Structure 1
Amino acid sequence: MHKVLRTVGCTAAAVAGVLLTAGPAAAANWSPVQTSSRWHCTRTDEHAYVRQVSFQACYIALPQTKKQVVLVVRNDGPGPVSIQGIIDNIDGSETLCAQSTLNAGFTRGCFGHFTPTTCNRGVGYATLIVNGRSDSMPTPRVRDCDDS
């Protein structure tokens, strides 16, 4: 039993060490969301495992073909839920969305970093983890080739 506990402890320490030293994958915080015409989002879907929690994957279009992926989540349930997220950016990097409590009636977004992208390409992928259960969706494809 001691050997098992020691192995689990060492594994947890190694994982924590990797997560703490990962520069680009540092945890992002959840923020209030205010959309504009630069936002392009999937339809809002209910989380596959947690009813009354919905989410969508968006990107914000910026000049010079830069895009920023956003994971948006809303809690329509009767009480708080624990949320985390992972954003897979088009350049292959990840943005980890910190564990947080989302109270009933609130909407929050986790913002990835800005990534150059081209026309008709996917921008990223968003995974929402609610109370330990994950569900994912891709962002919409880039629809236009202008600088908006």
Structure 2
Amino acid sequence: MGWKIVDTNSYWECGDYVKHTRTFTPGDFGINFKACTVVNSVGGAQAVLVVQNASGLNPWILQKGRVVFESQSEGDVWCAESTLNPGFTRGCYAPTVQKGTCATLDAPRVELTIGGRTEVAYGDYYLMTPPCWD
């Protein structure tokens, strides 16, 4: 799966950014990544691996990415290798799965491989899809 621009709104729920240890050097902030869940008003949900290049200096090669989400509903995806330039944020979007309104969702798990090292981040453990919040 390819990488796309990330444009969040109130339907996004994300875990905290994790710093990828292969990319942090003195004076450079490297790569941050996190797991997000995106829901829609008709019971669809998808997970996204969000990657931010906080470096002011270096582009980084994202060797491999993976999103694990609602696996029994085919919500997983492997992300294509890509170069992420300084200051850019991109997302690898898993397929949308239909869970119905008011469904409890699994927490997304994302993996990011840089420099041969794979690291993991997790999203929230559950999320009730709209219109349950009303």
Please tell me the TM-score bracket, short chain as reference: 0.7 to 0.9
Please give the per-residue CA displacement for 1:47-94, whole angstroms capped at 9, x wherever unaligned.
Answer: 133222101100101123321100000112221111130111212443
Question: What is the TM-score when the length of structure 1 is the normalising length?
Answer: 0.72
AA aligned opposite 1:29: G
Flag structure 2 segments of 5+ consecutive residues without an equivalent.
25-29
TM-superposed CA distance for 1:145, in Å, is 4.9
Q: Return structure 1 stretches of 4+ with deviation > 4 angstroms.
A: none
Counterpart amino acid of 2:88? F
What is the root-mean-square deviation in Å for CA atoms of aligned residues? Answer: 1.8
**Matching residue within 38, 45, 48 for 2:18:** 45
Higher Rg of the two aligned structures: 1
Paired amino acid for 2:119: D
Q: Please give the TM-score of this superposition, normalised by the length of structure 2.
A: 0.79
| Identity over aligned pairs, percent | 28
**In structure 1, what is the Cα distance between the partners aligned to 2:45 and 2:127?**
12
Structure 1 unaligned spans of 5+: 1-27
1:80 equivalenced with 2:59 (yes/no) = yes
Question: Whose RCO is larger (CA < 8 A, sep 6+)?
Answer: 2
Q: Residue 4 of structure 1 aligns with which residue?
A: none
In 2, the alpha carbon distance for the partners of 1:48 and 1:138 equals 16
In structure 2, C-alpha distance between the alignment counterparts of 1:91 and 1:64, rounded to whole Å:
20
Corresponding pairs, count: 120
In structure 2, the CA distance between the partners of 1:95 and 1:145, relative to structure 1 (3 Å rule), is: closer
Q: Which segment is superposed worse, 59-68 or 100-109?
A: 59-68
